[in-house]
Amino acid sequence: MSTANTTNRAYGAITLGTLLPWIIGAIILLVLPILMGSKGQLTIMSQMSIMVVFALAYNMLLGQGGMLSFGHAVYMGMGSFLCLHVMNASYFGSVPLPILPLIGGFFGLGIAMIIGSFSTRSAGTIFAMISLGLGELMAACVLIIVVFFGGEEGISGYRDEGLPFFGLEFISHIEVFYLIAFWLFVSAALMFLFSRTPVGRMANAVRDNPERAQFLGYSARWVRFVSFSASGFFCGIAGGLSAILFEIATESDLNVTASGVILLIVFLGGVGFFWGPIIGAVVFILLQTVLGLQTHLWELYVGVIFVAMVMYFPGGLAGIIMSHAVAMSLGKLGLLVRPYLTCVLPAIIGILGLCGLIEMIFHMREAPTGETEMTLFWTAIDTHHIWAWLVFGVIAAGGILLARQQSSVLKEAWDQANTIDTPAEEPS
Amino acid sequence: MDLILVNLIDGLVFGLLLFMLSSGLTLIFSMMGVLNFAHASFYMLGAYFGYQLSTVLGIGFIGGLIVAPIIVGVGGALIERYGLRQVHQYGHVPELIFTFGLALLIQEVVKLFWGQNQIPYFEPAYLDFALFSVGDNAIKAYKVFMIFISLAIFGGLLYILTKTRIGMIIQAALSYPKTVEALGHNVPFIFMGVFGVGTALAGVAGVIAGPALGTFPGMAFTLGSIVFVTIVVGGLGSLWGALLASLLIGWLTTFAASYNLRMEDILTGLGMTKPEVMSDSMLQDLWTLTLPQVGPILPYLLMVLILVFRPQGLLGKREA
């Protein structure tokens, strides 16, 4: 043990290198609202921050603990509902708003401890099924238990009725954003530190080989229970933040669809790295708002991206980024630039062509009869004319064929960029 | 008495429908060790293909009943070959997530081609009459048709799996894939075939259930989670367990939906008095609770209890 400790002394030490991402993160959170200060942008950024907290909490289970939950929105939703009840209570005038997420967090912790006491007995399919069953149960309970959940219309409240916090009443959006950003930073730091504690490390061990961890004298169930409860706590914080931002909680906050969305986000971002879910949440909310404005079919595109991601890049976006680490440490990243351009660019054009075809199918079905014109990529197109279909078909087929043809060049360059000590030759 | 009989028949119809899905799913589970989240999506595809073939292409309901499951089955086999097998190398959790993503994707594709709303898919006219009646309740011929189709499929499946050579090889491949491969059988091909047949069965269920339960993009998710409940309750990998649990859940939900048992009556029967002003009481929801209200969540409650107290399920041999 002692030798392991001495050799690992550098591990866990606080250096500028380990602090740098956090400092950059804090600066980004501080500066963003100054750069993009409109009401809509602030709301989107607040929403992103909440999703980041939730996604990081979810990844404590999926990525770090290997537990796949299909009902995790329950803990966030419960925190949200409780916080709204606090906001509606008569004593809310003496509660400063910034500590409200903490109340949600402890409620999430309590619920997670109750449920975790029996659901964490095993990981894998049983855990996933229990979480799914409980998710469905809770979603159904929302409509039955009207006292707590408010039935169909949910519970709503007003955040500005709390005790003023150093004169702040959190009426403007920027104040709310900074409040959420503060909690985002604190929870992210705490979750990161949790992953570095012995129990966080044991969660990884139990994920990879529960039997072996038990032979070492650790109770796999206890380790899972601790991760699960901690995850519930941070989900509750996210729920409290969502209560503050939206001032309403309904059934859609904790149903199985909401749980599915968080799974999607975390997997998209990448479960293998601590910061993967952050990327996932930011990208997903961007996709949702940007694509959602452009097309009715954004869910279809997100679904395709998700399935393609699971099939070809199970490490998610973070995995894709980190797969360049070897090439970067060898200083050969430059080799990849040209093949990327020649391969990815046609692929993107081809995919856009495919999207055009899909949009035309959608328009054919949805548009009122007689209306044959639609605007696609800023051009007016007659969907009932063969030429439109031909043009997009050619673009799609051409782009994808070209990308396929170039993929061998890319692969060659990739192999070259990842090998040491070969004389640097230009890929033919 | 009449009501009990009617409910028994309705529950049987729903239970057998569940069985058509759960039998395929449980076979696929024994084979791959992974729950296929997209299984109910193949059921939905069956219903939509059945509609498209029978009404738009005009080969009739029976034509749809034969052709649609074949298309669904071939599609399922292709997805196993080119999708699942690719993901298999990453482990169980990505596989589960893949099938989950597939379920989302199929739902979106269905929305793209057929729209958000329920489509007008009805039972054929020659089955749309009252075959007999129990008291005042007419039993439609279509329901009886559904029962017979399901029973025929169950019988056929049981015969193939236990009495034929192919069935023996499949059963052996489920338990000892390496040995069966060493004996010269193409085990990956068998798995693909089982996946295809399982999804085709789901397709059959879709074609016949589409007219009865409604054909809309949410149908996969509404039934999908119940099918999971069924195979978990019955015991993962057990065909008889799937049958038992399907019937149990079929009857449970049907009976719960039709008996208006009110909490109010039970509580007053126990000697408690109903508070005068409901809105002040914290327990108002307890007082207004009725059995049809809690009916839809009973299967989930059952599953959670089963998983906690008997994780191998009613007839299962191994833990999930």
Q: How confident is the model at residue A426 (pLDDT cuts 50, 70, 90)?
A: low
Give me the percent of chain B exceeding a pLDDT of 70: 95
Candidates B48, B149, B34; CA nearest to B88 is B34
Which among A124, A133, A146 is the nearest to B304, CB-wise? A133
Q: Is the model's pLDDT at A13 over the cut of 80?
A: no
Domains of chain B and CATH, by start: 2-258+292-309 (1.10.3470), 261-289 (no CATH)
Dist CA B286 CA B281 (whole Å) = 10
Helices (H), A145-196: 146-149, 173-196
Show me where the domains of chain A are located.
17-315, 325-417
Candidates B166, B198, B157, B199; CA nearest to B185 is B166
The angle, 0 to 180 degrees and rounded to 10, between the axes of the packed helices A39-65 and A173-196 is 10
Candidates B33, B177, B36; CA nearest to B92 is B33
What predicted TM-score, i.e. pTM, was given to this entire model?
Answer: 0.87
Cα A80 to its chain centre, rounded Å, is: 18
The mean pLDDT value of chain A amounts to 84
Decide if B87 and A311 are in contact by the 8 Å CB cutoff.
yes
Please indicate whether residue A380 or residue A173 has the higher confidence score (pLDDT).
Answer: A173
Q: In angstroms, what is the C-alpha Rg of chain A?
A: 25
Interface test with A, best of B98, B107, B229, B307 (most A CBs within 10 A): B307
Decide if A307 and B308 are in contact by the 8 Å CB cutoff.
no
Q: What is the token pair recorded at B162?
A: 């236990």
Q: Stretch B224-231: mean pLDDT, rounded?
A: 87
Residues 244-263 of B with CB under 8 A from A: none
Give yes or no for B113 touching A (CB within 8 A). yes
Give yes or no for B128 touching A (CB within 8 A). no
Give the model confidence (pLDDT) of B41-94 as tens digits: 999 999 999 999 888 787 888 888 889 999 999 999 999 999 888 888 888 888
Q: Which residues pair with B290 in a beta bridge?
A: B262
Q: Stretch A254-276: mean pLDDT, rounded?
A: 89
Which among B96, B297, B307 is the nearest to A137, CB-wise? B297
Answer whether B198's CB lies under 8 Å from B24's CB: yes
Q: Is the model's pLDDT at A239 over the cut of 90?
A: yes
Q: What confidence score (pLDDT) does residue B276 get?
A: 65
Which among A137, A310, A361 is the nearest to B94, CB-wise? A310
Q: Which residues pair with B132 in a beta bridge?
A: B139
Tell me how close the Cα of A137 comes to any Cα of chain B, in angstroms: 6
Cα A190 to its chain centre, rounded Å, is: 18
Answer whether B65's CB lies under 8 Å from B210's CB: no
Residues of chain A with Cβ-Cβ distance to B34 below 8 Å are 125
Residues of chain B with Cβ-Cβ distance to A366 below 8 Å are 115
Dist CA A343 CA A349 (whole Å) = 10
User: Residue written as tokens 């061990």?
Assistant: A205
Q: Which residues pair with A373 in a beta bridge?
A: A382
Decide if B225 and A125 are in contact by the 8 Å CB cutoff.
no
Residue of chain B whose Cα is closest to the Cα of A259: B100
Decide if B300 and A133 are in contact by the 8 Å CB cutoff.
yes
Q: Residue B146, class by beta-carbon neighbours within 10 Å (0-12 exposed, 13-18 middle, 19+ buried)?
A: buried
Dist CA A340 CA B110 (whole Å) = 34
Dist CA B114 CA B216 (whole Å) = 9
Q: Stretch B162-166: mean pLDDT, rounded?
A: 89
- Identify the sign of the CA torsion A138, A144, A147, A152: positive
Q: Is the model's pLDDT at A310 over the cut of 50?
A: yes
Tell me how close the Cα of B176 comes to any Cα of chain A, in angstroms: 21
Answer whether A347's CB lies under 8 Å from A403's CB: yes
Give the model confidence (pLDDT) of B178-213 as tens digits: 899 899 888 889 889 989 999 999 999 999 888 888
Coil/strand/helix, residue A55: helix
Dist CA A348 CA A377 (whole Å) = 14
Tell me how close the Cα of B115 comes to any Cα of chain A, in angstroms: 8
Neighbours of B1 (CB within 10 A): 7
Dist CA A244 CA A236 (whole Å) = 12
Q: Is the model's pLDDT at A170 over the cut of 80?
A: no
Helices (H), B89-238: 92-114, 141-163, 165-175, 177-182, 187-213, 219-234
Decide if A306 and B104 are in contact by the 8 Å CB cutoff.
yes
Candidates B180, B287, B228; CA nearest to B28 is B228
Dist CA A37 CA B261 (whole Å) = 56
What does residue A248 show for φ and ψ, rounded to 5 degrees?
Answer: -155, 150
Q: Stretch B12-16: mean pLDDT, rounded?
A: 91
Coil/strand/helix, residue A11: coil
Q: What confidence score (pLDDT) does residue B48 get?
A: 93
Q: Which CATH class is domain A17-315?
A: mainly alpha
Q: How confident is the model at residue A4 (pLDDT cuts 50, 70, 90)?
A: very low
Candidates A32, A375, A408; CA nearest to A184 is A32
Q: Stretch A194-214: mean pLDDT, rounded?
A: 90
Highest mean pLDDT (candidates A61-75, A343-357, B295-309): A61-75
